[in-house]
A and B are shown apart, each in its own frame.
Chain A
Amino acid sequence: MAAPRVKPPSSTSPWAWLRVLYAVLALTVFAFPGGMVDWLDERNASGWLSGPLALARGIDAASAAVGVKGVGEWLRGRFATFIGDADT
Chain B
Amino acid sequence: MLFPTIDFGLFFAFSFILVWGLNPYNTVKKYVLLALSLAFYASWNWRFLFLLLASGAISYVVGLYVDASAQRPFRRLALGAGVALDLAILAYFKYLDFFIAQALNLAHMLGFDLPLGFVNVTLPVAISFLTFHAISYVVDVYRGRIPASRSPLDILLYVSFFPHLVAGPIVRAHEFLPQLASPRRAGDFSFGENMLLILGGLFKKMVIANYLAVRFVDPVFTDPSQFSRFDLIMAVYAYAIQIYADFSAYTDIAIGVAALLGYRFPQNFNQPYRALGIGDFWRRWHMTLSRWLRDYLYIPLGGNRHGALATTRNLMLTMVLGGLWHGANWTFLIWGAMHGVALVLDHAWRRSAAFARWGEGRIVRVVDWALTFNFVCLTWLFFRAPSLDAVGQFLGGVWTDNGAASTMPMVVLPLIACGALTQIAPSRARAAIGVVLDNRGALASAAFGFVLLYAIIVMAPSTAAPFIYFQF
Task: Please give the residue numbers on chain A whose beta carbons come within 8 Å of chain B beta carbons, in ascending order.
Answer: 8, 10-25, 27-28, 31-32, 35-36, 39, 72, 75-76, 79-80, 83-85, 88
Instruction: Tell me which of A18, A19, A31, A85 contacts B461 (CB under 8 A).
Output: A85
Known: A20-B445, A25-B9. A11 touches B409 (CB 8 A): no
B18 to chain A, nearest CB (A): 11
Contact present for A21 and B453 (CB under 8 Å): no
User: Main SS of the interface on chain B?
Assistant: helix
Contact present for B16 and A21 (CB under 8 Å): yes
Interface residues of B in 208-248 (CB under 8 A from A): 211, 214-215
Instruction: Tell me which of A27, A36, A72 contacts B450 (CB under 8 A).
Output: A27
Contact present for A24 and B446 (CB under 8 Å): yes
Supplied contacts A12-B438, A20-B191, A28-B453, 6 more A-B pairs, CB within 8 Å = A11-B190, A17-B191, A20-B446, A39-B7, A83-B410, A85-B215
Contact present for A14 and B20 (CB under 8 Å): yes
Please, which residues of chain B bring their CB within 8 A of the CB of A85? 211, 215, 411, 461
CA distance A19 to B449 in the complex (A): 12
Supply 12 A–B pairs (Cβ within 8 Å), ascending by A.
A12-B185, A14-B23, A16-B442, A17-B191, A17-B260, A18-B20, A20-B191, A20-B446, A23-B450, A32-B457, A36-B6, A85-B215
Residue of B nearest to A32 (CB): B457
User: Main SS of the interface on chain A?
Assistant: helix
Contact present for A24 and B411 (CB under 8 Å): no
CA distance A39 to B10 in the complex (A): 11
Residue of B nearest to A40 (CB): B6
Residue of A nearest to B215 (CB): A85
CA distance A23 to B447 in the complex (A): 9
- Would you call B192 an interface residue if the criterion is a C-beta within 8 Å of the partner chain's C-beta atoms? yes
Contact present for B449 and A20 (CB under 8 Å): yes
Known: A72-B457, A85-B211. A19 touches B446 (CB 8 A): yes
CA distance A31 to B447 in the complex (A): 13
B289 to chain A, nearest CB (A): 30
Please, which residues of chain A bring their CB within 8 A of the CB of B109? none
